């Protein structure tokens, strides 16, 4: 069944994944907050990326650079001049639109009024450093994390004994004053990026580019569990390329509103380092000992937005089962809502459920199991409502395991483990729980 966007948006609010920012004040366009479940999912996505990009790699190091940087960086990178979208305003209702998103560029899509000629609108948020608000104190909130990496390239080469090819990865906030934010958390004004700059010897960039595209696709499928058929690669046309890029592909997800970009992978040549060398006066060349050559490396950049990946994971996992499911142990006769998230990124891994409430021995045993597991997994203890209701509640937020402690547990030191997607139930010894769950979640 097709998932409508509205259903997913209302689900994320109802179950505490995403709230509009400043909610009790009526919200703020293009800004969102992540609730208790959302922050866990987001963190799991970022951890997964960080592990794949740095900890499992010998050739990539991490970085956390500041959001506000010397404004000369944005002049050098071309953002002050070029980081803009075309904007048209309606002469009648004064609404503003991104001209390149309009079919008819002369008529207002809302009221039919006449639109102004398009003008370039710079997307960087401006601020002032210090107490005086004059042109000398202007600074910008970074519109991408990449420049923080380029301006630390020399620090890293000088301190880390890295050798080409090597990468620098960063996760952090980025800000863009989008003309028309929208599609929920797809186009935001404040978001997080996961970016890696991979520096290579000129001449090797095409081979590395292909390899990175393949690795990135594999991450979505194998590490996040997104269905292969909902992902595709789109090659940019020459005229579409950003001012720095010599080649670019988008990884797109099949959202309910259509195929849209979740990650861009760009072959940036040596544009950024060359510009920073010119504007900073610092030597950013690389000396290759083996060949005694000195050159500015080329760079390949995979860049994705945490919120877009988060939304793709939710859309992919959201499932409605009309009429419910029936197995030998359970029968649900109403529409079921199921979040079939990959176990590795599920916000809560295990729900610990005492079969009955306020039965001293059962409660104590259930607490004991909960305390044992919570050192290893994000768990939730839940004793409110009938057991079936509790299963449903956890199915809906994507908890892969529900563990029930019953009277037999007191005799045999085993619990019933119930699986979200199949509703299968298995009896497992408490002593074996951690090793079995660890294996199933992280290795299978």
| Phi, psi angles (nearest 5°) of residue 29 | -60, 120
- Could you say whether residue 188 binds ligand ATP (CB under 6 A)? yes
Tell me how far apart the alpha carbons of residues 351 and 373 are, in angstroms, rounded to a whole number: 10
Determine how many CB atoms are found less than 10 A away from the CB of residue 225.
17
Among positions 152, 254, 303, 378, the unique one binding ligand ATP when judged by CB under 6 A: 303
Among positions 15, 42, 154, 176, the unique one binding ligand ATP when judged by CB under 6 A: 176
How does DSSP assign 96-124, residue by residue? EEEGGG-SSSSB-TTT-PBBPPPEEEE-P
Tell me how far apart the alpha carbons of residues 252 and 236 are, in angstroms, rounded to a whole number: 12
- Could you say whether residue 97 binds ligand ATP (CB under 6 A)? no
- Could you say whether residue 252 binds ligand ATP (CB under 6 A)? no
Tell me how far apart the alpha carbons of residues 383 and 11 are, in angstroms, rounded to a whole number: 23
- Could you say whether residue 47 binds ligand ATP (CB under 6 A)? no
Tell me how far apart the alpha carbons of residues 426 and 410 are, in angstroms, rounded to a whole number: 17
Among positions 42, 154, 187, 365, the unique one binding ligand ATP when judged by CB under 6 A: 187
- Could you say whether residue 167 binds ligand ATP (CB under 6 A)? no
- Could you say whether residue 263 binds ligand ATP (CB under 6 A)? yes
**Locus of tokens 């860049």:** 303
- Could you say whether residue 305 binds ligand ATP (CB under 6 A)? yes
Give residue number: closest CB to ligand ATP. Answer: 305
Q: Report, in Å, the least distance between residue 96 CB and ligand ATP.
A: 16
- Could you say whether residue 261 binds ligand ATP (CB under 6 A)? yes
Binding residues with ligand ATP: total (CB under 6 A) = 15
Tell me how far apart the alpha carbons of residues 428 and 369 are, in angstroms, rounded to a whole number: 12
- Nearer to ligand ATP by Cβ, of 307 and 316: the residue is 307
- Nearer to ligand ATP by Cβ, of 149 and 423: the residue is 149
Q: Which of the 8 DSSP states describes residue 395?
A: H
- Could you say whether residue 255 binds ligand ATP (CB under 6 A)? no
Among positions 54, 304, 380, 416, the unique one binding ligand ATP when judged by CB under 6 A: 304
What contacts 150, CB < 8 A, 6 or more positions away?
Answer: 77, 197, 272, 273, 276
**Taking Cα atoms as reference points, which of 173, 151, 148 lies closest to residue 65?**
148
Task: Give the binding site for ligand ATP (CB under 6 A).
Answer: 176, 178, 187-188, 191, 193, 261-264, 303-305, 307-308
């Amino acid at each position: 069944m097709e998932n409508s966007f509205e259903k997913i948006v209302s689900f994320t609010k109802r179950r505490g994944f995403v709230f509009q920012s400043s909610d009790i004040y009526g919200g703020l366009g293009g800004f969102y907050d992540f609730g208790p479940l959302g922050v866990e999912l987001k963190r799991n996505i970022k951890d997964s990326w960080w592990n794949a990009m740095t900890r499992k790699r010998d050739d990539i190091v991490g970085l956390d650079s500041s959001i506000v940087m010397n404004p000369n960086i944005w002049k050098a990178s071309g953002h002050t001049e070029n980081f803009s979208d075309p904007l048209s305003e309606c002469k009648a209702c004064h609404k503003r639109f991104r001209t390149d998103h309009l079919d008819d560029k002369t008529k207002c899509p809302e009221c039919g009024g006449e639109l102004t000629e398009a003008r370039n609108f710079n997307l960087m948020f401006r601020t002032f450093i210090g107490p005086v608000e004059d042109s000398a104190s202007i600074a910008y909130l970074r519109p991408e994390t990449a420049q923080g990496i380029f301006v630390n390239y020399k620090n890293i080469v000088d301190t880390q004994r890295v050798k080409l090819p090597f990468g620098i990865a960063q996760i952090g906030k980025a800000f863009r004053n989008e003309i028309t934010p929208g599609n929920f958390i797809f186009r935001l004004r404040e978001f997080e990026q996961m970016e890696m700059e991979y520096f290579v010897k000129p001449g090797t960039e095409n081979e590395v580019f292909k390899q990175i595209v393949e690795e990135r696709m594999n991450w979505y499928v194998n590490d996040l569990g997104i269905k292969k058929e909902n992902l595709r690669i789109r090659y940019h046309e020459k005229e579409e390329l950003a001012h720095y890029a010599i080649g670019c592909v988008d990884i797109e997800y099949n959202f309910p509103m259509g195929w849209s970009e979740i990650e861009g992978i760009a072959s940036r040549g040596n544009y950024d380092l060359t510009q920073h060398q010119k504007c900073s006066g610092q030597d950013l060349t690389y000396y290759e000992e083996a060949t005694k050559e000195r050159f500015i490396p080329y760079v390949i950049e995979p860049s994705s937005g945490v919120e877009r990946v988060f939304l793709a994971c939710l859309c992919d996992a959201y499932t409605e089962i009309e009429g419910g499911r029936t197995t030998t142990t359970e029968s649900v006769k109403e529409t079921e809502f199921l979040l079939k998230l990959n176990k590795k990124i599920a916000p809560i891994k295990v729900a610990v459920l005492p079969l009955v409430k306020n039965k001293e021995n059962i409660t104590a045993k259930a607490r004991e199991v909960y305390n044992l597991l919570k050192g290893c997994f994000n768990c939730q203890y839940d004793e409110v409502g009938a057991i079936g209701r509790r299963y449903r509640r956890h199915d809906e937020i994507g908890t892969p395991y529900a563990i029930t402690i019953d009277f037999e547990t007191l005799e045999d030191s085993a619990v019933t483990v119930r699986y979200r997607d199949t509703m299968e139930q298995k009896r497992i010894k408490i002593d074996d729980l951690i090793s079995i769950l660890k294996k199933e979640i992280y290795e299978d």
